[in-house]
Amino acid sequence: VIILMALVTVNSFGRNSFRQCLRTYVASYSGYLNKRDQNDEMPVFQYVGKHRKPHGKVFVWGFTYTGALGIPSFVVPNNFLCCLWVWLHFVGLQFQRPDQTPSPVPLPLRNPQETRVLQVSCGRAHSLVLTDSEGVFSFGNNAYGQCGRKIVEDEVYSGSHVFHNIEGFDSRVCCGQDHSLFLTEQGSVFSCGWGADGQTGLGHHNKAACPVPVGGDLTGVQVQQVATFGDCSLAVSKDGQLFGWGNSEYLQLASVTESTQ
């Protein structure tokens, strides 16, 4: 904080003084990072801007190689001082990420000032973001169609950073390991992605590259909540019935069988 306050008067220092101040900051910040490495603290949320509380922004952290956390970007500040500090801060983190701080995801929204994020869900290597007026955005690994878009053979997800917009789903989204569930306001459940263990509930064990209505015992049932983890999926109907499908090798569906449901 003291270093930041010193930079406020950078315009009155001149170039030489500014460079000296900058070197002092970098040295101090390097010491700070080393200290954080030693302490091995939990992730810290960081937001820089005019408003103390960010609105309508998604912050992410974790493994980014497949693109599951979107496109990394700098926090856009409101003045030169913040820009300088955030830029220096991020240069160190972009390659090393010693303090594991999250960064904002620039969703390709049509109306970014009005649209709000309602829910986020993360799978093994893909993510879903539900908005209040622009549907669902998916990004990350799509090798099995779990992002709800066409599978591209040999796609390099760490470089493509594809955001896919899925319209028509406005209630809830859930990511399994490599599959996705979508719930509509009308109570219909859709799924896509890897189905080798029956986790998509589509009556086959193939991949599905776009959201398809879940059938079987859920046909005609109005669902109020869905959940999935790993390769097992659950749904609760509006009249209180519980439905489950997918992998049950650890009896997670409470059935004494290792068969796919």
Q: With helix as H, strand as E and coil as C, how does 182-241 read?
A: EECCCCCEEEEECCCCCCCCCCCCCCEEEEEECCHHHCCCCEEEEEEECCEEEEEECCCC
Q: What's residue 112's pLDDT?
A: 85
Q: What's residue 258's pLDDT?
A: 61
Domain map of the chain by residue range?
Answer: 2-104, 117-246
Q: What's residue 11's pLDDT?
A: 44
Q: What's residue 257's pLDDT?
A: 62
Q: What's residue 106's pLDDT?
A: 79
Q: What's residue 69's pLDDT?
A: 67
pTM for this predicted structure: 0.63
What tens-digit pLDDT sequence spans the chain (261 residues)?
Answer: 333 333 344 444 444 544 454 454 444 444 544 544 545 555 544 444 445 555 666 677 776 666 676 655 544 443 333 222 323 333 322 333 455 566 777 788 888 888 899 999 999 999 999 999 999 999 999 999 999 999 999 998 877 778 899 988 889 999 999 999 999 999 999 999 999 999 999 999 999 999 999 999 999 999 999 999 999 999 999 999 999 999 988 888 876 566 665
